[in-house]
Amino acid sequence: MHEQRERLKVLSAGIFSLILVLGVARFSYTPLLPLMQQQAGLGVAAAGWLAAINYAGYLSGAIIAALISDLVLKDRLYRIGMVLAIASTAVMGLTTNITIWALSRYIAGLSSAAGMLLGTGLILNWLIRHNHRTELGIHFAGIGLGIAGCAAAVTLFSPWLDWRQQWFAFTALGCLLLVPALRWLPAPDQSGLTKTGQKMEDNPPSPLYLRIFMAAYFCAGIGYVVSATFIVAIVNKLPGLAGQGNLAFLAIGIGAAPACINWDLIARRTGDLNALILASILQIIGILLPVMVGGLFATLFGALLFGGTFIGMVSLVLTMAGRYYPTRPAKMMGKMTLSYGAAQIIGPAITGSLAVHLGSYNAGLYFAAGAMVVGTLLLLALKAVEMRDAAGAAPAL
Which domains does the chain carry? Answer: 1-185 (1.20.1250.20), 200-397 (1.20.1250.20)
Q: Is the pLDDT of residue 208 over 60?
A: yes
205, 195, 204: which is closest to 128 by C-alpha?
Answer: 195
Answer whether residue 370 shows pLDDT above 80.
Answer: yes
Select the highest-mean-pLDDT range: 128-132, 204-208, 277-281, 332-336.
Answer: 277-281
3-state secondary structure 13-33: HHHHHHHHHHHHHHHCHHHHH
Gap between the Cα atoms of 22 and 315, Å rounded = 15
Determine the pLDDT at residue 192.
64
The whole-angstrom separation of Cα 148 and Cα 159 is 18
CA–CA gap between residue 110 and residue 64 (Å, rounded)? 10
Phi, psi of 194 (to 5 degrees): -80, 175
Q: Give me the sign of the Cα torsion angle 268, 273, 279, 285.
A: negative
Mean of pLDDT values over 107-113: 94
Query: In the chain, what percentage of residues exceed pLDDT 70?
Result: 96
SS3 content of the chain, % helix, strand, coil (to 5): 80, 0, 15
Contact by Cβ (8 Å): 196, 39: no
Dihedral over Cα of 362, 36, 244, 28: its sign: positive
